[in-house]
Chains A and B, each alone.
Chain A
Amino acid sequence: MTTTRDDPAVPAAAGAGGTPAATTGTAADLAVHLLRLGDDALVLGQRLCQWITRAPTVDEDLALSNIALDLIGHARVLLTRAGHIDGTGRSEDDLAFTRSEREFTNVLLTELPNGDFATTVARQLAYTHYAVPYYQALADCSDAELAAFGARAAKEVAFHRLHADRWTRTLAGGTRESARRMQQGLERVWPYTAELFDEDEVTRRLSTSGTAPSPALLRTTWQRNVSEVVTGAGLTMPAPSWSARGGRSGLHTEEFGPLIAELQSVHRQFPGGRW
């Protein structure tokens, strides 16, 4: 599907009445950006839900499902707003349940299969050390609604980061096998971390106008903080090798399809169903 966000002839037609017909300039950029952040949160939340009843302990089951719940809460706010300002009038449910794979713009990191527990911890470590400073920076941006969201979400993700940091240390300092798995988890997710900091015209325009933070600027902080945890735990930072990209433009990994199919299955069987 091609995007027509900049086409003034398209917007609003399908929408709930009263939604401002919109979407040129900053509003269009912001809509794209909100969708990206919302998709990151939604997809990672959905992935983490797959741990429910399968986590190593019951406490961990609760921890991972609580984290997933927070992320889906973030996605709801972001997607609702995205649908509101992109002029299509789509609801959070429309965006989550009726888009095809290629229309999702999450980074590939968030859709990576859970793997073993250590891989999930490694993915959480990478994501949370990016998300906390990103949301903190969002709290200082010009859009009041988004700033309020950023302030709130940063506090929540800080708990997820604490969880990831602790598990990284615990697994690294556990048995030889748990340390090996933790290192392997880091190696597995590493090639997917670069995409978090990628810039394109949208992010550049938004950061120039002070509407959203520039992701590239966070990379040094991220690298430093993650390496503090990783090396502090006695593990080694993975060597830079190849990196995978494409999520932001709708090109996903093979494992993404089944994840989205599962997410959307109820809606497809009972379109418009409510409970």
Chain B
Amino acid sequence: MNASTPPPARRSVQEVRERVEALPDPELPVIGLGDLGVVGSVGPAADGVLEVEIMPTYLGCPALPEITAAVRDVLAACGHPDGRVRQVLSPPWTTDRITPEGRRRLAAHGIAPPVSPVPDGPVPVELGGVPCPHCGSRATRPHSTFGPSRCQSVQWCTACREPFPHLTAL
């Protein structure tokens, strides 16, 4: 981004969307906000101001202020200095929103992607057999429901004896 003296040219909605989606998630930098599925609609609000909807993964996600600031920077760099970021709770974000590319990238970085979605409530992790991202074995077992960040649990592979984080299905 070579924003310096003149005000940046006004970019299209589509381009803003692409740049927002390319932003890395602060807690899972291997995956972009687009692949994580937290970007809702991008477009002009009723008053004509460009608005980006962000769907928080968890209500208390500490990355939210950082994400909001990063999106504002994108808006400013794209010639929308008055652009807004709005948090939306409905429809809720779920792990189903993570794209196949996102799942692939998570697995490639040693984070087991969420296992098949369930209609409601949490999946008892015992039923899992979450495939180990290191050796692929399903002989894994839950170690702790609460992991390094709010959306991850810790699993343990009995085959290669490595612990690994797992993005908990929500």
Contacts and interface: CB of A to CB of B under 8 A. Distances in A.
A149 B89 contact: yes
B121 interface: yes
A102 interface: no
B146 A158 contact: no
A71 interface: yes
Contacts of A153: 59
Contacts of A73: 58-61
A162 B145 contact: yes
B121 A155 contact: yes
Contact of A69 (B60, B89, B122, B145): B60
A70 B122 contact: no
Q: Chain A contact residues: over half helix, strand or loop, or mixed?
A: helix
Interface in B14-72: 58-62
Interface stretch (A17-25, A60-68, A195-203): A60-68
Contact of A159 (B60, B120, B122): B122
A77 interface: yes
A144 interface: yes
B38 to A, nearest CB: 13
A67 B146 CA distance: 8
A163 B59 contact: no
Given A73-B60, A74-B59, A66 B146 contact: yes
A59 B60 contact: no
Contacts of B147: 62
Contacts, number: 67
A131 to B, nearest CB: 13
Chain A contact residues (Cβ within 8 angstroms of B): what range?
A: 20 to 34
A155 B143 CA distance: 20
Contact of A71 (B60, B90, B154): B60
Contacts of B89: 77, 145, 148-149, 151-152
Interface centre among B89, B145, B146 (most CB of A within 10 A): B146
B71 to A, nearest CB: 19
A152 B59 contact: yes
Chain B contact residues (Cβ within 8 angstroms of A): what range?
A: 20 to 34
Nearest to A57: B144
Given A69-B150, A70-B150, A59 B144 contact: yes
Contact of A62 (B61, B62, B146): B146
B92 interface: yes
B62 A69 contact: yes
A248 B122 CA distance: 31
Contacts of B115: none
Given A73-B61, A74-B59, A144-B90, A162 B122 contact: yes
A151 to B, nearest CB: 6
Interface in A132-182: 144-145, 147-149, 151-153, 155-156, 158-159, 162-163
Given A62-B144, A63-B144, A155-B122, A148 B60 contact: no
A152 B92 contact: yes
Contacts of A147: 90
A252 B92 CA distance: 35
B6 interface: no
A153 B147 CA distance: 19
Contacts of A62: 144, 146-148
B124 A162 contact: yes
B139 interface: no
Given A145-B89, A158-B122, A76 B144 contact: no
B170 interface: yes
B63 to A, nearest CB: 11
27 contacts: A59-B143, A59-B154, A62-B146, A62-B147, A63-B145, A66-B150, A67-B146, A69-B62, A70-B59, A70-B60, A70-B150, A73-B58, A74-B59, A74-B60, A76-B59, A144-B90, A145-B89, A147-B90, A148-B89, A149-B59, A149-B89, A152-B59, A155-B170, A156-B59, A158-B122, A159-B122, A159-B145
Given A59-B144, A62-B147, 6 more contacts: A147-B90, A155-B92, A155-B122, A155-B170, A156-B58, A163-B146
